[in-house]
Amino acid sequence: MTQQITAVSALASFLHKAKSRGQTVGFVPTMGALHEGHLAIVRKARQENNLTVVSIYVNERQFNNSEDFLKYPRHEESDLSLLQGEGVDIVYFPQTAELFTQENLPINFSLNGLDVLLEGASRPGHFKGVVEVVHALFMHVQPTKAYFGLKDFQQVAVLRKMVKELQLPVELVAVPTVRAENGLALSSRNQRLSEEQRQEALILFKTLCFLKEHYQKTPHNELLAQAKANIHSSSLKLDYLEIVDPETLISLNEHHPQALACVAAFCGEVRLIDNMLLIAQ
């Protein structure tokens, strides 16, 4: 039976008993508005652990735009129903006052520039907010493993660096991006798109596929220029499209054996992101 917990003391009590019996804890942090992408991550956590905890918290600290924060979809009842259907043990609704205490905030450490590229450049301070809330949640849950989707590839890279630098006793597990049948990456923000916009947004997936298909067949700069032209010819407003090193996220100016294509664009007022690994054939 799924338990709903809002107080960190109640959560700690429940988890202490489980861990004293040698049970492992899989943790999936979310901002709610759950979809099949989230549920795939939850299933992975359930497969690999005795106990599964899912948190739902819309973190204002990682929003650059207050209007975007207010418009972020919130569907608590349907989220709970989905998680109960998946057999999640605990749904945790953390309270802001208990999250951002001095003892929960991470000590200063270097992200080696991972937080200022791509999403970091477009959304200054975003990853500071991500690091703060995830660190606090790790302090509350103290999971064996924590699970994140690769649609937010840069977020995974940032959090891996946090775990390594702070020597946190948790294993990060990255779960592949879940896509609709037409290829659109599943995202809570998709709920704000009209049916017409969902079709228009497919240009992102099509462009990534174009890059993957032609990677190393076409000169690097020419390939990137063609890909950007594809998006510019659509109704979407391109924020960035870059081919980067998957480890450092630094932009590449020539073909490498492995690279990552990252894109962000506005579909109407909704900002969408996606990525795809490019492997030289």
Q: Where in the chain is the domain with CATH 3.30.1300.10?
A: 188-275
Sheet holding 237-244, edge to edge: 237-244, 258-267, 270-279
Rounded to 5 degrees, φ, ψ at 241 are -140, 115
| CATH tag, 3-175 | 3.40.50.620
Q: Residue 233 class from Cβ within 10 Å (0-12 exposed, 13-18 middle, 19+ buried)?
A: exposed
Q: Is 38 a catalytic residue?
A: yes
Q: What does DSSP assign to residue 108?
A: P
Annotated catalytic residue within 16, 35, 38, 255:
38
Sequence-ordered list of residues with C-beta below 8 angstroms from that of 101, at least 6 positions apart, any chain = 136
Q: Where in the chain is the domain with CATH 3.40.50.620?
A: 3-175
Q: What is the model's pLDDT at position 64?
A: 83
Rounded Cα–Cα distance for residues 46 and 23 (Å): 12
- DSSP letters, 260-271, are EEEEEEEETTEE
Domain 188-275, CATH class in plain words:
alpha beta
Residue 112 Rama label (left phi>0; alpha psi -120 to 50; beta): left
In DSSP terms, which residues pair with 102 in a beta bridge?
none
N- to C-terminal Cα separation, the chain: 49
pLDDT tens, position by position, for the chain (281 residues)?
899 999 999 999 999 999 999 999 999 999 999 999 999 999 999 999 999 999 999 999 999 888 888 989 899 999 999 999 999 999 999 999 999 999 998 988 989 999 999 999 999 999 999 999 999 999 999 999 999 999 999 999 999 999 999 999 999 999 999 999 999 999 999 999 999 999 999 999 999 999 999 998 999 999 999 999 999 999 999 999 999 999 999 999 999 999 999 999 999 999 999 999 998 65
Cβ(278)–Cβ(208) below 8 Å: no
Select from 149, 93, 98, 157 the least CA-distant residue to 131. Answer: 157
Cβ(176)–Cβ(140) below 8 Å: no
